Structure 1
Amino acid sequence: MLQVIRKVIGSAGDCQTAKIIGKLNEKKLLERCFKMESSQDFYHLFQPIINTNFPEKPIGYEAFIRNRHEKNPLKIFEKARKNNSLLEIDLHSINCALKYADSSNSAYHLFINIFPSTLVSDAFLALLDKIVNKPVILEINEANEETTIWNNPLLKKNILLLQEHNIKWALDDVGTGQASIQRIFEYQPNYIKLDKYFSNELSARKEKQKVVTFFVDLTKYMGSHFILEGIEKETDLKIAKELGVRNVQGFLFGKPQKEISHPRSDCCASKVN
Structure 2
Amino acid sequence: MMHGINKLIDDEIFYHHFQPVFNLSVNQPIGYETLLRTTMFDNPAMVFNSAIEVNRLFELDVKSLKKSIETISNHDALKDDQLLFVNIYPTNLADNKFEEFVTEILHRCSLKPYQIVFEINEGEVIKDMEILQEKIKQLRNLGCLLAIDDVGKGAASLRVMIETQPDFIKLDKYFSNELSESTYKQALIKSFITYCEGTHTKLVLEGLEEGKDLQTAIKMGVILGQGFLLGKPKPIN
- Common topology (TM > 0.5): yes
Which amino acid in structure 1 is aligned with residue 70 of structure 2? Answer: K
1:48-59 to 2 correspondence within 5 Å?
Answer: 48-55=20-27, 57-59=28-30
What are the superposed Cα offsets for residues 210-260 of structure 1, whole Å, 9 maximum, x if unpaired? 111111111111111110000000100011011110100000012111126
What are the superposed Cα offsets for residues 12-43 of structure 1, whole Å, 9 maximum, x if unpaired? xxxxxxxxxxxxxxxxxxxxxxx857734111
CA shift, 1:176, in A, is 0.8
Match of 1:131 among 91, 102, 106: 106
> Residue 4 of structure 2 corresponds to which residue in structure 1?
none
CA contact (8 A) 1:131 1:167 kept: no
The 2-side partners of 1:95 and 1:174 are apart by 25
Matched, 1:207 2:207: no
CA shift, 1:152, in A, is 4.2
Percent sequence identity over matched residues? 36
> Residue 153 of structure 2 corresponds to which residue in structure 1?
176
1:55-204 to 2 correspondence within 5 Å?
Answer: 55=27, 57-105=28-76, 106-107=78-79, 108-129=82-103, 130-131=105-106, 133-134=112-113, 135-143=115-123, 146-149=124-127, 151-204=128-181
Matched, 1:234 2:214: no
TM-score between both structures, scaled by the size of structure 2? 0.88
Matched, 1:44 2:16: yes
What are the superposed Cα offsets for residues 95-125 of structure 1, whole Å, 9 maximum, x if unpaired? 1122123212221311111100110112211
Superposition misfits of 4+ residues, deviation over 3 angstroms: 35-38
What residue ranges of structure 2 are gaps of 5+ in the alignment? 1-6
The 2-side partners of 1:58 and 1:244 are apart by 17
The 1-side partners of 2:142 and 2:234 are apart by 30
The 1-side partners of 2:96 and 2:12 are apart by 25
What residue ranges of structure 1 are gaps of 5+ in the alignment? 1-34, 261-273
SS, match of residue 222 in structure 1 = coil
Q: CA RMSD in A?
A: 1.7
SS, match of residue 29 in structure 2 = coil
More divergent stretch after superposition (66-75 vs 245-254):
66-75
CA contact (8 A) 1:137 1:167 kept: yes
Please identify the structure whose Cα radius of gyration is greater. Answer: 1
SS, match of residue 70 in structure 2 = helix
The 1-side partners of 2:12 and 2:55 are apart by 20
CA contact (8 A) 1:62 1:111 kept: yes
CA contact (8 A) 2:20 2:226 kept: yes
